[in-house]
Structure 1
Amino acid sequence: MKNIFVGPRVALTVPQPEDFDEISDWYTDGTFVRNLDTLPARPLSGEALEQTYRNLNQDTEFYFHIRALDDDRLLGFVTLFNIDWHNQICQLGLAIGDADDRGHGYGTEALNLMLNYGFNELNLYKVCLDVISTNQAAISVYQNSGFEFEGTNQRAIKRDGQRLDLYSMGLFAEDFQPRIKFN
């Protein structure tokens, strides 16, 4: 039987208490935090991040840390949240923390592991996400994994005195074609 949490180079893992201090460091990177969320950027302590994790609704949120298989390095996190079980639909969030780890395919691999988990283990029908129009790297990862644009919330985000669009993207279970080989 294949391990649904392990890909060729990354694994989706249970968060460890010591991980949250490292994630806190990512929240001091303005680019990271401003691409991650539409809320105002602010640093968060490891303690605050761990408390947020402990308060997740276990029935509607599935949150994993992304680790490199070769050295067990923390790369990021991925989550399925706001799961509507009746309609089999949810939202997705993904982040690769350290700028040096971006652009190497870790996000694509983690995304494909999470989509496989969502569609084949949780029996979801559709996964949705929102992404800021200026986050071209994330948009490319999502498109390469099969997500399609579903709508634009025009000028929904204000950054540096400019108004930016917020794109809604979605992927149906029947359209999911894994971009990685599962172990």
Structure 2
Amino acid sequence: MKNILAGPRVALAVPQPEDFDEMSDWYTDGDFVRKMDTVAARPMSGQELEQTYQNIDRNTEYYFHVHNIEDDRLIGFVTLFDIEWNNQIGRLAIAIGDPDDRGQGFGTEALNLILNYGFHELNLYKICLDVIATNQSAIAVYQNSGFEFEGTNKRAVKRDGHRYDLYHMGLFAEDFQPRVNFN
């Protein structure tokens, strides 16, 4: 039986307490925080991040840390959340923490692992996400993985005195074509 949580270069893993202190460094990077979420950017301590993890609803959220298989280094996180079991729909969030790890294909592989997990293990029918219009690299990864634009919340995000659109994107299970070989 194949490991559905591992690809050629990254693996989805259970969060460990020591991970959260490392992740707190990512939250001091304004670019990271401002692209990842629409809320006001603020640094978070490892303790705050671990507490957030401890408080997730285990019935509707599946949260993993992303590790580089080569050196078992923490490089990001991915989560399926707000799962509506009756409708078989969930929402997705993903982030690669260190800027040096971005643009290396790790995010694409982690995204495809969590999509495969969501569609084939959790039996979801559709996975949705929101992305700020300025995050063009993430949009490209989502589109390459099969996500389609479903709507725009116009001028929903304010950054540096300017307003930007928030795109809603979705992917149906039947349209998922993995971009990574999951042997």
Q: TM-score, normalised by structure 1?
A: 0.99
Distance in 2 between residues matched to 1:70 and 1:44, nearest whole Å: 28
Match of 2:137 in 1: 137
Q: Deviations over 1:93-116 (max 9, x none)?
A: 000000000000000000000000
Distance in 1 between residues matched to 2:63 and 2:141, nearest whole Å: 19
SS in 1 for 2:153: strand
Match of 2:20 in 1: 20
Q: Deviations over 1:67-120 (max 9, x none)?
A: 000000101000000000000001000000000000000000000000000000
Match of 1:155 in 2: 155
Match of 1:80 in 2: 80
- How far the C-alpha of 1:61 sits from its partner, in A, is 0.2
- How far the C-alpha of 1:157 sits from its partner, in A, is 0.4
Cα-Cα RMSD: 0.4
SS in 2 for 1:141: helix
Sequence identity (%): 74
Distance in 2 between residues matched to 1:65 and 1:140, nearest whole Å: 22
Q: Deviations over 1:139-161 (max 9, x none)?
A: 00000000000001000000000
Distance in 1 between residues matched to 2:33 and 2:158, nearest whole Å: 14
SS in 2 for 1:153: strand
Distance in 2 between residues matched to 1:24 and 1:137, nearest whole Å: 23
Match of 1:175 in 2: 175
Q: Deviations over 1:15-40 (max 9, x none)?
A: 00000001100000000000010000
- How far the C-alpha of 1:66 sits from its partner, in A, is 0.2
Match of 1:126 in 2: 126
SS in 1 for 2:17: coil
Q: Deviations over 1:9-65 (max 9, x none)?
A: 000000000000011000000000000100000000000000000010000000000
Q: Deviations over 1:134-181 (max 9, x none)?
A: 000100000000000000100000000000000000000000000001
SS in 1 for 2:53: helix
Match of 1:4 in 2: 4
Match of 2:105 in 1: 105
Distance in 2 between residues matched to 1:21 and 1:140, nearest whole Å: 30
Q: Aligned AA for 2:12?
A: L
Match of 2:31 in 1: 31
Q: Aligned AA for 2:117?
A: Y
Gaps of 5+ in 1: none
**How many pairs align?**
183
Distance in 2 between residues matched to 1:155 and 1:113, nearest whole Å: 32
Q: Aligned AA for 1:87?
A: N
Distance in 2 between residues matched to 1:180 and 1:42, nearest whole Å: 34
Match of 2:40 in 1: 40
